[in-house]
Structure 1
Amino acid sequence: MKKLFYVTGFFAFFLIGNGILFKIMHWPSASIQLCMGVLLLNLGYLPAYFYNKYKANA
């Protein structure tokens, strides 16, 4: 579970950072990368993060 948590976080932040770089350089597929990164962050990483925090406190 922890490994999937770290891999999801890495890919989400990688896509967001790469999408920002592509936006600055005006390269194609920047919007797709940003959207996929934000979706992965909101639907994959953050729920797992808060679940781990909840399990640690319970």
Structure 2
Amino acid sequence: MKKSVYVLGFIALFILSTGLMFKSMHWPFAGIITVVGFVLFNFMFLPTLFYKLYKSN
């Protein structure tokens, strides 16, 4: 589970940074990619990380 949490975080931050790069270059679909990155990070990675930390204590 520990490795899957870190992989999920990497994917979420990679998508988010790609969206921000698209936004700075004014390329199409930048808003959609950025929103998908934020959703993955806030609603999938962070709850999973906090649950893992809660279960380890």
TM-score, length basis structure 1 = 0.88
Inter-partner Cα distance in structure 1 for 2:41 and 2:49? 10
Say what the alpha-carbon RMSD is for the aligned residues: 0.9
| Count of matched residue pairs | 57
- Helix, strand or coil: the match of 1:17? helix
* 1:16 CA displacement: 0.8
TM-score, length basis structure 2 = 0.89
- Helix, strand or coil: the match of 1:28? coil
Q: Percent identity?
A: 49
Task: Name structure 1 gaps, 5 residues minimum.
Answer: none
Inter-partner Cα distance in structure 2 for 1:44 and 1:4? 12
